[in-house]
Copies of this chain bind each other. A is one copy, B any other.
């Protein structure tokens, strides 16, 4: 599998940096953890635990519970984050040091991931009006993407 088009920026940009971080935190770099990390590097966009268990590079499959425990560990280290895109399983991705934020189309499931700064205007407006500090990294903005909204306008349903 080729490298992702939009591999995370800056910190933790390669496997070595992450493995160092894992060990510095007193953790061990076991086979499942390494393979989860490899699969996350290979993925382009957030993926489910199940996809990580089955879709890994080498043909073999990982034990699902180990995948979940690996992800939990990596998430505690700040290396990984997960997002809930509507229904369906949680999806995991490398943070690259900064948690991205997401917009998802509830009709076609397309995900738009943006750097945090890009939603600051929206965040400011929400805070100004409701006092609420919105975070769109763990739970995204859900609605219709431009294409589906146009389709909806032409053929309402």
> Of A106, A126, A135, A145, which is in contact with the most chain B CB atoms at under 10 Å from its CB?
A126
Contact partners of A118 in chain B: CB under 8 A: 129
Copies of this chain in its oligomeric complex: 2
B133 contacts A129, C-beta separation under 8 Å: no
> Of A105, A114, A132, A140, which is in contact with the most chain B CB atoms at under 10 Å from its CB?
A132
Contact residue among B130, B132, B138, B142 (Cβ-Cβ distance under 8 Å from A134): B142
Asked whether any CB of chain B lies closer than 8 Å to the CB of A77, the reply is no
| Minimal beta-carbon separation of A122 from chain B (angstroms) | 5
Taking Cβ atoms with an 8 Å cutoff, the residues of A that contact B are: 86, 103, 105-106, 112, 114, 118, 121-122, 125-126, 129-136, 138-146, 149
